[in-house]
Amino acid sequence: MSITSILSRLGQQGVRLVLLVVVIALTGVGLGLAIGYPVSRIQFEESNAIQLPQQALATKVDPAAAITTATDLPTSWEAGDPSLASFGLLGTEFCGEEVELPTTLSSIQSAVFANPADESVLISQAVRVDRFQSARQYVEDVGKAVGQCERFYRSDLEGNRVEVRIDEAPGEAPITDYVARKFVTADGEGVQVWSMMAIGDVVVASQYVGPTSPQQGLLSDVELDILRRVTPESFALGGIETETTTTTTTPGTETTVLDSGTEDESPTPGGDEGAVPTD
């Protein structure tokens, strides 16, 4: 096959790649570097996120049990003003983009807690939607929305325009159907750390708002407590462990059964950012 025919198959991008290889080879660097350099720039991040059996969990999770309780928080936290639940994340805008909440089959369950020591607030919400696929899609759509901008603007209580920077949230994702971010005001006087996850057909949202970042592991501990409470069969204390059980079916024949609870089913056919003012 001639060079011309190869280039015509590769197209314009292919032409650029071939020319790059040729230039590097001619300068004496060698083909090894031409291939190795870009590969060395690829970063593979390991994740401990658990893939829940979402279809099996559909209709099984109680939204009222999927919100934060007092026992999930340190003793310094107490019941907060229930009216602050209106500043929850579910059904709000993200980076100026309205992410529509799927059809709900329950009311939005909410809980508000406050820490008098620094006047920070934690808002927890959960709602059942029409399908587990819808819950997943909503979380994914929220992730896409916040992934399209690095900063946005909101108005404070006095009507002043405040710039907010978007950072990666601290901690790791506990499950795969999950999104989290950290919002920080440009003047550094307000921080909002939040997460959202799909558990079966229930969407769970947690957010912390305060003058500074929350204590290390606060939201992660809250998320784990919720997951252990509503998915005890698949999210045991310390994560899912794979257990191997051997049973005898006929003389001399053994059957090994793996029970991890981590399988996931393919979808079946059919079927301003919600922030609390920190000023």
Whether residue 243 is contained in a domain is answered as no
Identify the domain containing residue 41 by its residue range: 16-45
Q: Are residues 186 and 64 in the same domain?
A: yes
Whether residue 183 is contained in a domain is answered as yes
Q: Are residues 220 and 102 in the same domain?
A: yes
Q: What is the pLDDT of residue 109?
A: 98
Q: What is the pLDDT of residue 182?
A: 96
Q: Are residues 40 and 113 in the same domain?
A: no
Whether residue 137 is contained in a domain is answered as yes
Domain boundary among 230, 255, 271: 230
Query: Which residues have CB under 8 Å from 152's CB, separation 6+?
Result: 95, 96, 163, 164, 166, 273
Q: What is the pLDDT of residue 96?
A: 83
93: part of which helix (H) or strand (E)? strand 93-94
Cα 203 to Cα 29, 41, 93, 100, 153: the distances in Å are 53, 36, 16, 13, 26
- DSSP E strands in 137-201: the ranges are 151-155, 161-168, 178-185, 191-199
Domain count along the chain: 2
Q: Are residues 137 and 33 in the same domain?
A: no
Domain boundary among 214, 230, 246: 230
Which tokens hold the place of 126?
Answer: 């959960």
| CATH code assigned at 187 | 3.40.1000
Distance CA 176, CA 157 (A): 36
CA torsion, ordered 218, 224, 226, 230, to nearest 10 deg: 180
Q: Are residues 153 and 204 in the same domain?
A: yes
Q: Are residues 96 and 147 in the same domain?
A: yes
Which tokens hold the place of 70?
Answer: 């007092």
Whether residue 260 is contained in a domain is answered as no
pLDDT tens sequence for the chain (279 residues): 544 444 444 444 444 544 444 333 433 443 333 334 343 343 445 678 999 999 999 999 999 999 999 999 999 999 999 999 999 999 999 988 889 999 999 999 999 999 999 999 999 999 999 999 999 999 999 999 999 889 888 777 677 888 999 999 999 999 999 999 999 998 888 999 999 999 999 999 999 999 999 999 999 999 999 999 999 887 765 444 433 333 333 444 333 333 334 444 444 434 444 444 444
Total-model pTM: 0.70
Q: What is the pLDDT of residue 152?
A: 87
Q: Are residues 39 and 68 in the same domain?
A: no
Q: What is the pLDDT of residue 1?
A: 52
Q: Are residues 154 and 195 in the same domain?
A: yes
Cα 171 to Cα 71, 174, 265: the distances in Å are 21, 9, 27
Q: Are residues 39 and 60 in the same domain?
A: no
Whether residue 171 is contained in a domain is answered as yes
